[in-house]
Structure formats: structure tokens, C-alpha cells
Amino acid sequence: MKSQFIDFCEIPFPEVNPIDLIVEQNGAPFKLANYRYPCKVGVERKGIVFYVHGYAEYTGRYGYLAREFSEAGFDFVGIDQRNFGNSTSNAATLGHFEGELVHQNDILAHIDLVDAKFGGPDVPKFIIGYSLGGLQTTQLALRRPDFFKGIGLLAPCYGFLEYLQPQFDALADKARAQTTEEIYELPNMITLPPRQSLHFMLDPLGQGIKMPAQNVLTLKDAPARLTTELIASVTSPVILVIGGNEGFVSNKRTVEMFNHLPTTDKSLVTVKGATHFPFHDKKNAQLVCDEIIRFFSRI
């Protein structure tokens, strides 16, 4: 059987830091890492795809996704959010999620700079978000109504599996009671095959599964703030991808939110047998890319 293992180091982004993206952190300038995989030369350009990565990871490991979109006619761009991936200034803030609006504003700053340099009013803009990035993508769509021609949601973090929720509640109670910073372990979840898990664990830019108290509270509280009334304000066409064997977020709540989207131009793709990582092996990555590219190319 052909190996389905993806070595994300094998396909890097051809452009690293094409945008001089400077934000502020603790009163000082702070540069955010960003990436671009331009539309393949000779292919008709269809637009720009902005990618929003999940918790405790970074955009730089998804060159293999970006290449698929490039070959289909899209620029594929994204940032490493502050304190993750290559957007880290020191060990003290490594892995810290500084606040929903702070991270949203960073992403929007990148979107605007990319649009100014590589886009413009006549270039269609699309956005894809994975896990916590899927929640952030939804929040960005609410802040920028009708800006994105199409939205892709990959296992978005709209809520956790029922059996995990009490564990998050207990972690959040403990985090709120702390007067000093502590590091916590995420609840156990169905994960990747051993070889892929080890590949992620050995990545020096990965933050693993430990998280500071502020992150616990964000993961606990942020999904609950996205209500069915709010998501009903997202009017762009949406494609949703979920794993058939999801082991972390609640597919039930995700589909409920999806059903409240007012657009009639929406598509639900269930990746059979996939967990919370529905595009992290070769077969499923190809399936997911094909589905989203087909959807974005049609709308």
C-alpha cells in the first residue's frame, strides 16, 4: 500500500515574508511571519485564498495544501499568528493566545496588505480556516460582510465533544482561580497515526498540547460566543469539511451552525474515517483540496 504520510517540510512556500507585516506587542514593533504560494505561471488566476491555521500550529507547514491551490489558479497566503510558528519573539510568550480581537486584527492587517500588494477590488478573495482558525474565519466574515467570495471551514472549533466539555469546564475553573501563570494539558482526543503524530511532535516550531491559562479560557469561552443568530449573518457561500470520526470538536454543533447559514450556496463534505485532522494524509488532503477548489472555482 502506498504511504499516505505527509512530510510538511518537503513542500515549502516559495515566498516567505513577502509582506512586511509589523504589529505591536507589549509596546514594541513585532514582525509576523507570512507566506505566499502564488498562482502557477500559465494558469488563469482565480483569486487569493487566505488561510487561518489552527491552535498550536502555523501556516508554514501547509505548503502541500498551498501548492494544490496554486496549480488550480489561486494565490495561497497566510500568517503564523503571534506567538506561534515563526511569529515568536521569546520563550516567555511562546504559544500564548493574546486575545480574540488581537489575533483577528493581525489577520485582517495581513489581508489588507496582501490585497493592496497582490489583489485589488477586481480580484476575488476567499478564506479557509481550520479548527480554531475556522472559528476565527467565521468571526472575520462577520467583521467583513461580503468581503470574501467564498469561505472554507475545516473542522471548525464551534464546540467540543460532549465527553470533553466537562474536562474543559474543570480546566477553565482552575485557570480562572490561578493568580500565577500555569501550563495545562489539553484533554485527550483521537489524533493522528503514530508516524504523523511523531512528525508533529518533533517539529521545533510546534507547541505540542500544553497551553497557558489564557488559552484555556479562550478555547472554553470563544466558541460559546458564536451563536446561531450571529452565524446567520454570514452571507458568503460556505463549504464545510468535517471528519467522520471527529475526536475533538462537536460535529453535531458544527452542523447545527452550518444549517443556520442563510446562503443556499453551501456544501457539506464528510471525510470518511478522518478525525480532527481531515487533510493531514495524502489521500484526504487531495480529496479536501479537490472539493474546496471545485467549490471556489464554481461560485
Q: What is the CATH number of the domain that holds 52?
A: 3.40.50.1820
Instruction: Please name which of 224, 217, 279, 275 lies closest in space to residue 251, comparing C-alpha atoms.
Output: 275
- Closest C-alpha to 60, from 33, 38, 39, 83: 33
Q: Please give the distance of CA 160 from its chain centroid, rounded to a whole number.
A: 16
pLDDT at 189: 64
- Full residue range of the structural domain in which residue 31 is found: 15-163+224-298
Dist. CA 282–CA 227, nearest whole Å: 34
Is 119:111 a contact under the CB 8 Å cutoff?
A: no
SS3 76: strand
Tens digits of per-residue pLDDT, 195-219?
888 888 888 887 555 688 889 999 9
In a domain, 62, yes or no: yes
On whether residue 115 sits in a domain, the answer given is: yes
Based on the structure, what is the number of domains in the chain?
Answer: 1
> Residues of the chain whose pLDDT is less than 70?
1, 188-190, 207-210
- Residue 16's CB: how many other CB atoms inside 10 A? 12
Classify residue 174: in a domain, yes or no. Answer: no
Q: Is residue 138 part of a domain?
A: yes
Q: Where are the alpha helices (DSSP H) in the chain?
A: 63-71, 100-118, 132-143, 165-177, 194-201, 213-225, 228-231, 251-259, 282-298
pTM (2 decimals)? 0.96
pLDDT given at position 271: 98
Q: What is the DSSP letter of 146?
A: T
Q: Give SS3 for 71.
A: helix
* Residue 269: inside a domain: yes
Q: Could you count the other beta carbons within 10 Å of the beta carbon of residue 239? A: 24
Residue 37 lies in a domain: yes
Q: Is residue 103 part of a domain?
A: yes
Domain annotation covers residue 7 = no
What is the rounded CA–CA span in Å between residue 198 and residue 205?
Answer: 13
